[in-house]
């Protein structure tokens, strides 16, 4: 190891306990998340395609989680061996895949919540807006914008990894203005969390105000609420701790970030619960149609969940 660069070495050492814990958690997420998201994506594409806006959003969420799961073998290898023979470019790609997953997953989950809320509150007026074409355009914009925003991070990460005095990965610090990226991401995630909270409250209030005869058109009101709750759990358990830590981030207090990154990666295992929550509807053939417009809007939202 080149000790002369210790003062500016961006790669930090890993203690034994965190090394073992990280290897175990990432390994479990890989074993559970990879097959679940692969199966979810296959079922969504095979049984539902892009026939509804919610199906489009679900497919993109599954793709985002699958990309994260595919990068986890590299994390497992690093934390199991504390060796990195794959070079700075590969490490940069693996780190960026995680960051892309956090950002795109949070956006797609929020869009799904908003789509459900609009379908329930404005079932007829929203039909012209809630189309597959519109959802595809929104998803394309999300992927393009997130990819563009990642370019400066990719350059800084790659430069920092090239400066490491030892072969390392996932424990790199990017100096200086990286705190701006951290603060921006934290504020962005908090805004998305607020949107999810508002959507959940609006749906609960709307369902409580519905008369019993009208509510009968909704297959299961509790299912609708619980699916919103799952979305909120993803944010509060996996995204919120990471977000709050980013708000306090600086180069000297970032030692807990890797542990929260590890926790945040578990979100790709919980997201398939949204798809499987109504199992019969999830497996339902895409040819089945409903005649009532209000029931159609909400039930299609539920069945794609």
C-beta of residue 193 within 8 angstroms of C-beta of residue 102: no
| Averaged pLDDT for residues 79-87 | 87
CB atoms within 10 A of CB 129: 12
| d(C-alpha 227, C-alpha 244), whole Å | 24
Neighbours of 126 (CB within 10 A): 17
Pick from 68, 57, 125: which is nearest to 93 by CA? 68
How confident is the model over 9-64, as pLDDT tens digits?
556 666 777 788 888 999 999 999 999 889 888 888 887 778 888 889 889 999 99
d(CA 137, CA 292): 27
pLDDT digits (tens, 9 = 90+) for 102-119: 889 999 999 988 988 888
pTM of the model: 0.81
Alpha-carbon gap, residue 183 to 244, rounded angstroms: 9
Pick from 27, 60, 30: nearest CA to 268: 30
CA-derived radius of gyration, the chain: 21
Q: At 136, list the tokens.
A: 């595809």
Range of weakest confidence among 34-43, 125-134, 151-160, 288-297: 288-297
Nearest to 277 by CA among 242, 302, 251: 302
pLDDT of residue 228: 83
Three-state SS for 172? strand
Look at residue 170 in the predicted model and tell me its pLDDT: 81
pLDDT digits (tens, 9 = 90+) for 173-231: 655 455 677 778 888 888 999 999 999 899 888 888 765 544 445 556 676 777 788 88
Nearest to 227 by CA among 132, 103, 115: 115
Fold of 13-303: Rhopdopsin 7-helix transmembrane proteins (1.20.1070)
Other Cβ atoms less than 10 A from the Cβ of 127: the count is: 14
More confident site: 135 or 244: 135
Task: Give 294's contacts (C-beta < 8 A, 6+ positions apart).
Answer: 123, 124, 217
Q: How far is the C-alpha of 191 from the C-alpha of 157, rounded, in Å?
A: 26
> Do residues 207 and 215 touch, judged by C-beta distance below 8 A?
yes
Residue at token pair 């370019």 = 151
Mean pLDDT of 267-292: 56
259-273 burial code (b ≥16 CB/10 A, e <16) = bbbbebbbbbbbbbb
Listed range (121-135, 225-239, 259-273, 288-302) with the worst mean pLDDT: 288-302
Q: Which two tokens stand for residue 180?
A: 């701006």
């Amino acid at each position: 190891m080149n000790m002369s660069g210790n003062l500016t070495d961006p790669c930090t050492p890993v203690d034994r306990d965190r090394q073992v814990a990280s290897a175990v958690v990432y390994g479990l997420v890989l074993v559970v998340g990879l097959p679940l998201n692969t199966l979810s994506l296959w079922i969504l594409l095979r049984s539902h395609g892009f026939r509804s806006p919610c199906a489009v959003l679900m497919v993109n969420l599954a793709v985002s989680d699958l990309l994260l799961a595919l990068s986890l073998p590299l994390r497992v290898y690093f934390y199991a061996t504390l060796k990195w023979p794959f070079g700075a470019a590969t490490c940069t790609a693996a780190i960026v895949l995680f960051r892309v997953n956090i950002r795109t997953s949070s956006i797609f989950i929020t869009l799904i919540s908003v789509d459900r809320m609009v379908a329930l509150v404005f079932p007829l007026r929203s039909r012209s807006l809630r189309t597959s074409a519109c959802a595809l355009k929104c998803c394309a914009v999300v992927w393009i914008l997130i990819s563009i925003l990642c370019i400066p991070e990719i350059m800084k990460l790659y430069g920092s990894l090239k400066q490491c005095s030892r072969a390392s990965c996932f424990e790199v610090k990017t100096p200086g203005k990286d705190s701006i990226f951290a603060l921006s991401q934290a504020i962005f995630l908090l805004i998305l969390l607020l949107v999810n909270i508002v959507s959940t409250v609006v749906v609960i209030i709307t369902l409580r105000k519905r008369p019993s005869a009208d509510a009968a058109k909704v297959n299961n009101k509790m299912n609708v609420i619980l699916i919103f709750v799952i979305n909120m759990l993803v944010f509060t358990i996996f995204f919120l701790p990471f977000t709050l830590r980013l708000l306090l981030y600086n180069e000297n207090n970032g030692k807990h970030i890797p542990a929260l990154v590890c926790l945040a990666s578990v979100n790709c295992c919980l997201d398939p619960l949204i798809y499987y929550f109504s199992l019969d509807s999830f497996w339902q053939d895409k040819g089945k149609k409903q005649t009532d417009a209000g029931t159609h809007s909400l039930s299609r939202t539920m069945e794609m969940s």
